Chains A and B, each alone.
Chain A
Amino acid sequence: MTASPPLVVSENLTKFFPLPKGRKVHAVDGVDLTIHEREIVGLVGESGSGKTTFGKTLIGLLAKTSGTVTYRGKTLPQQYEAADFRRQAKVMQMIFQDPYSSLNPRMTVGEIVGEGLKLHSDLSASDLRDRVASWLSRVGLEPDYMSRYPHEFSGGQRQRIGIARALILEPEFVVCDEPISALDVSVQAQVVNLLEELKASMGLTLLFIAHDLSMVRYISDRMAVMYLGAMAEIGPAQDVFFEPKHPYTQILIASNPEPDPNLERSRKSTTITGEIPSPVDIGPGCRFAARCPHVMEQCRVQTPLLLPLAGQPDRQVACHLFT
């Protein structure tokens, strides 16, 4: 897996949102992440941990406060101009969380799916229609749905429309922001299988943002855990899920209810008290220190760095317990 070259690299990527009186929301604060070609990286964390902001900043939908993103070794602009979007749209795309609000209700499915292609190619109207039709059938929809409007479709069907819209330009890298959270269990499996198939047939690289830990473990090659704007742990998905190292990851995985009554009965409660703190004007020290069961003196003053584990270079943890 790690043999493939890096495709997208974020270094010290930071996104702050300004508040009145000079205060700042530290939504994403110095995140390093390397995504290799043809890899699925799953990004998990609680709401407010900065997952979505990271994904949007990574592909340029939000301007960076500081830090860099390189794509195939080339540094991408700090803030995208219209020309940057035009250039990048062909290589990077995003699938959005809410299949209800992310499709324009006044456009037909054909217009929504074909819009990117219309802007980025000089296909004739009939070729464009053929391409839209073939993409609709590729994501499991009838080609003659083209003339219908989004409200005529179920959540799962809309998510497929969103997938066809994102993939019709045949990008290399796709950020999937909670693509299955709004869907029923039986439909989630349809969408996940579709993404896996398209990944295999198109050689896609995916950043899969979700809060469903089981599904992220299932689909991802590597799993990254975010907490309050910073990366807590990165590693092979199976290892992170079954042998979490960071105390936060341990609590997150232990809180994930398993569909297995015997397992649930044997499991002791590991709930933590408290909730994710406010990301406004974060001081030094570990972000998890206030809730961490293993907190030490050092944790409150010194910010832990994301470092490889001894003997496991493919796993990185940001915790003083391991340094």
Chain B
Amino acid sequence: MTAPAPPAKQPPLLTVENLQVEFETYGGTVQAVRGVSFSVEAGKTLAIVGESGCGKSVTVQALMGLVPMPPGRLKSGTAELRGRNILGTSQIDGLDFRGREIGMIFQDPMTSLNPTMTIGRQIAETLEVHLGWSRKKAFARAIELLDMARIPEAAQRAKQYPFEFSGGMLQRAMIAMAIACEPAILIADEPTTALDVTIQAQVLDLLGDLQREHGTAIILITHDLGVVARMADEVAVMYAGQIVERGSVDDIFYRPAHPYTVGLRAAMPSNNPDAEHRLLPIEGSPPDLFSPPAGCAYAARCPHAMRICSTHEPAPFVVGADHYGKCWLHHEKAAGGASMIAAAAAPPEKKS
């Protein structure tokens, strides 16, 4: 199938609308993802940021059909890859799109690879299954891919087992596997969380280089704002199963439009000698997703919460080009609300 010649503005590769995922448990229904919408363009990196339990991993696992059902359930939503549905199925035109059109890298490379197969065979298997290559041809390509992922002595390394690799090398081997079929989209779920900073820098550089060479779109799931600043073009900030703010990386860091985004930043040291501030923790904890609050999920922890915040869920208010914040402070009746967020984004209190 050949796509029609793209007009001036490229249509997004992947569009997700109103995704809702629930889990049935003995304690009740957990509403893990509560209406998430986003899109990804070729050659760009979308970072999905949030703390543990915010639903960022479940979101991408649902796209990849990796949420066990039951107990999981897709309550609603659509997801289209180049206009074709991928939600609730593993196939497009009778072919599995997973691994072929969307590759995935997991957080813990040690447990995500098969310990009883050599690294080379695991990569080759992808090519044999999706592209029908012969064992020999696929293994030769696996060596090339390991070399592209900057694994030294790739030909020897391909014959080794995962236990013979270090954590950083395993993660690079997993990247080699994920890009084997040259997918249009690469989903990386906390790809460097288990790695040291020097190895993290190597892996992030590798992802950036592969993206530039192949025009791959990357969905990067992380909780590390430093990694976001280094890698992302677009950012979605998730809290309690929803995207509370979405914008360009500069919007998110320099013009944040949601108090949670501001709070995350203020809880970290700045490393700017002129802007040293005392760390401002976000007090309290995220809401119970068995029974999410009626209003804004962040209201209970928000320093700017108003009466309406605990009763009515805010709409995503557009605050700039492709930039929205799901916060009542942007409503016209909340006079000066937006400037309150801006003021909070520059914490004045110096460290004693």
Q: List 14 A-B contacts (CB under 8 A).
A: A184-B52, A188-B281, A189-B267, A189-B280, A190-B281, A190-B283, A211-B196, A214-B271, A215-B269, A254-B201, A259-B226, A271-B205, A275-B199, A276-B196
| Contact residues, B198-232 vs A (CB, 8 A) | 198-202, 204-205, 223-230, 232
> Is B181 close to A, CB under 8 A?
no
- Distance from B344 Cβ to chain A, minimum over Cβ atoms (Å): 14
CA distance A260 to B196 in the complex (A): 20
> Is B253 close to A, CB under 8 A?
yes
Whether A242 and B268, one on each chain, are in contact in the complex, defined by CB atoms closer than 8 angstroms, is: no
Question: Which residue of B52, B268, B271, B273 has the most chain A CB atoms within 10 A of its CB atom?
Answer: B271
Whether A46 and B196, one on each chain, are in contact in the complex, defined by CB atoms closer than 8 angstroms, is: yes
CA distance A269 to B204 in the complex (A): 10
Chain B residues within 8 Å of A, Cβ to Cβ: 51-52, 150, 166, 168-169, 196-202, 204-205, 223-230, 232, 249-250, 253-254, 263-265, 267-269, 271-273, 278-283, 285, 351
Pairs A-B, 9 closest by C-beta atoms: A257-B226, A186-B282, A218-B269, A189-B281, A259-B225, A189-B267, A189-B279, A255-B201, A190-B281
Residues of A within 8 A of B205 (CB): 269, 271
> Is A25 close to B, CB under 8 A?
no
CA distance A47 to B47 in the complex (A): 26
Residues of B within 8 A of A242 (CB): 273
Tell me whether A258 and B229 are in contact in the complex, defined as CB-CB below 8 angstroms, given that A189-B267, A238-B273 are known contacts: yes
Cβ-neighbour of A185 out of B200, B230, B253, B267 (below 8 A): B267
Residues of B within 8 A of A46 (CB): 196-199
> Is A264 close to B, CB under 8 A?
yes
Question: Which residue of A185, A189, A218 has the most chain B CB atoms within 10 A of its CB atom?
Answer: A185
Whether A186 and B267, one on each chain, are in contact in the complex, defined by CB atoms closer than 8 angstroms, is: yes
Task: How many A-B residue pairs have C-beta atoms within 8 angstroms? Tell me.
Answer: 113
Whether A271 and B229, one on each chain, are in contact in the complex, defined by CB atoms closer than 8 angstroms, is: no
Residues of B within 8 A of A261 (CB): 229, 232, 249-250, 253-254
Tell me whether A217 and B264 are in contact in the complex, defined as CB-CB below 8 angstroms, given that A255-B201, A261-B253, A264-B230 are known contacts: no
Whether A257 and B279, one on each chain, are in contact in the complex, defined by CB atoms closer than 8 angstroms, is: no
> Is A256 close to B, CB under 8 A?
yes
Given contacts A185-B264, A189-B282, A270-B201, 6 further A-B contacts (CB under 8 A): A257-B229, A260-B272, A261-B249, A269-B205, A271-B198, A275-B166
Residues of A within 8 A of B202 (CB): 271-273
